[in-house]
Amino acid sequence: MSGEIKQPKTFICIDCGKYTKPLRKQRCGLCYKKWRVVSAPKRKCTCDPRCQVMISSIRYDGKPNYYAKMHNHKGESHWNWNGGIQKDGEYLVIHAPYHPHKRQRNTIAYHRWIYEQYYNVCLLPYVEIDHINEDKTDNRIENLRPLYKEQHTSRHHKGKSKKQL
Going by pLDDT thresholds of 50, 70 and 90, the confidence category of residue 4 is low
Residue 1 lies in a domain: no
Residues 44 and 97 grouped into a single domain: no
Residues 148 and 90 grouped into a single domain: yes
Going by pLDDT thresholds of 50, 70 and 90, the confidence category of residue 78 is confident
Residues 103 and 141 grouped into a single domain: yes
Rounded CA gap, 6 and 77, in Å?
59
Q: What domain count does the chain have?
A: 2
pTM of the predicted model as reported, rounded to 2 decimal places: 0.55
Residues 86 and 52 grouped into a single domain: no
* Contact indicator for 71, 45 with CB cutoff of 8 Å: yes
Residues 87 and 152 grouped into a single domain: yes
Residues 52 and 90 grouped into a single domain: no
pLDDT(53) > 70:
yes
Q: Name the residue range of residue 121's domain.
A: 82-156
CB half-sphere exposure, 76, CA atoms < 13 A? 0
pLDDT(22) > 70:
no
Write out pLDDT tens, residues 130-165.
Answer: 999 989 889 999 999 999 988 988 888 876 666 655
Residue 43: beta bridge partners? Answer: 55
Residue 32 lies in a domain: yes
Percentage, residues of the chain above pLDDT 90:
28
Going by pLDDT thresholds of 50, 70 and 90, the confidence category of residue 122 is very high
